[in-house]
Copies of this chain bind each other. A is one copy, B any other.
Amino acid sequence: MPKKELSLAELFSPRGVAVVGASLGDQYSFARHVVESLKEAGFPAIYPVNPKYTELLGLPCYPSLQAIPGVVDHVVVSIPAESVLALLDDCAAKAVKSVTFFTAGFSESGWKDRAELERAMLSKARAGGFRIIGPNCVGLFVPRSRLVSTTGIPLEPGPIAFISQSGGHAQNLPLYTGPRGLRFSKVVSYGNALDVDETELLQYFSRDPETEIIAAYIEGVKDGRRFLGALKEAASRKPVVIHKGGTTEAGKRAAHGHTASLTSSVAVFHALCRQLKTIQVDNVEELIDVLVALRFASPLPQGNGAAIVGLGGGPSVLAGDEMEEAGLHLPSLSPEVQAELRQFLPMAGAIFSNPVDATNLVSPEAISATMRVLGKVPDIHMLIYHLGFHPASRWGDGRLCSAEFLQPAIDALAQAQKATGKTVLLALRPAPDLDGMKDFLAAQEAFVAAGFPVFHSLRQTATAMARVVAWNQA
């Protein structure tokens, strides 16, 4: 008789973690990397398991789960699929709460006996009263509990939950968005969704008090009706951003080989998501940008009118094109507004028509004055400042990258935002070389620390803001 299922809430603060790995001694193994990562994160009770070793990375290594003296709530498994059923018996005997399988080669392999093996695993989990995450995933990242599966990710908790059918995305999202200020409550990579699935995760995060924004990368949905019910409830409580993988024939084929997902009709999925007031994105870049907008754009713009301010005629012309193509609107400026701008912007080499481009738009005074004039225009709902980083931006001893420029510019933009009540957004373009990247990363760090949303191009800014404004107005 199966025991009552543990709720997800019980999985996120394990007292002890065992890492069971066939190749724990191999420096390239996932299991070893998990042990290293947990150590680096300061997780207090890590138990490597492999009968070949008595010590590993300075920790005692145990021959079996039962040999571990302390409490084990969570088990990370990377052993061949053939050995998993015996291990699950050990898990039941040790009274663990959850098991993550990095191990792959199950239903996604297309081999019939492996799908049967998955069903046997699920029976053992039900009988043993524990939950399975995966198989074919990287499992849990819970900053508050110092529960990690990789290194290099910021460990401060934050308000974003990420549900990911891909282990790569689950590890990459916090890694890539750290420098842009995004922090996470929990990240769950759930792979083949044998037990814990997208619907249960969505239900959990829609009520999780530590989560304010929900992001999801989903290849396939196991039970469409249940999922839509959960999505409806989640979207009524919090912003939900969904990235659907497997939308073309090649993507579907890969999704089936990746997580055994039978991807549903894209058109139907998109239509339902729209009805339910979720934000859909087309790729990881957009997912990141929309999360940055939701997290840091303050206030959220009340309309799609934008003003673009910065240095560079070509970029400004293209910005005009890209903004409108992405669904934002760049209102033209009245002669009165243009006259106001001409009081402090030089006529030569300048564009006053929105985008506003002038050679002195790197001086905090000019930036501030321009933003204040534009912020008064009723159909301008957001103010975008753009800046490029490359050797040429170092004219005059790198003025655009120096602390002398950055802090006054940040203050000017913060004051303009406060004075006008219009959100200020930053489009900082990364550099092609290492010196330029140093400047870019320093500037990004300063703007992010000051609480601004930072995007990496005007096109990306426009795409993200158009989606967020449409969602906010729906």
Contact = CB atoms under 8 A, between A and B. Distances in A.
Interface of A: 27-28, 33, 80-81, 102-105, 108-109, 136, 150-152, 164-169, 171-172, 175-179, 217, 219, 245-259, 283-284, 312-325, 329-330, 332, 347-355, 357, 388, 390-392, 395-397, 399, 430, 432-434, 437-438, 441, 459
Given A81-B348, A352-B257, A321 B179 contact: no
B348 A252 contact: no
A175 B258 contact: no
Given A347-B109, A353-B254, A441-B434, A175 B314 contact: no
A176 B392 CA distance: 11
B325 A392 contact: no
B152 A319 contact: no
Given A245-B314, A250-B324, A353 B257 contact: yes
User: Which 7 A-B pairs give the minimum distances between C-beta atoms?
Assistant: A166-B314, A152-B391, A250-B320, A251-B321, A251-B320, A105-B348, A104-B349
Contacts of A319: 250-251, 254
Nearest to A329: B250
B392 A251 contact: no
A166 B283 contact: no
A317 B438 contact: no
Contacts of A259: 313
A341 B18 CA distance: 34
| Chain A interface main SS type | helix
A192 to B, nearest CB: 11
A348 B27 contact: no
A252 B354 CA distance: 11
A312 B168 contact: yes
Contacts of A179: 432-433
A144 B438 CA distance: 31
B245 A353 contact: no
B437 A250 contact: no
Contacts of A255: 317, 320
A178 B431 CA distance: 12
A345 to B, nearest CB: 12
A27 to B, nearest CB: 5
Contacts of A350: 104
Given A437-B437, A438-B434, A314 B169 contact: yes
Nearest to A322: B283
A253 B332 contact: yes
Given A178-B432, A253-B330, A434-B438, 8 more contacts: A151-B392, A152-B390, A217-B314, A219-B317, A250-B323, A250-B354, A253-B354, A255-B317
A249 B354 CA distance: 11
Contact of A247 (B252, B321, B441): B321
A166 B312 CA distance: 9
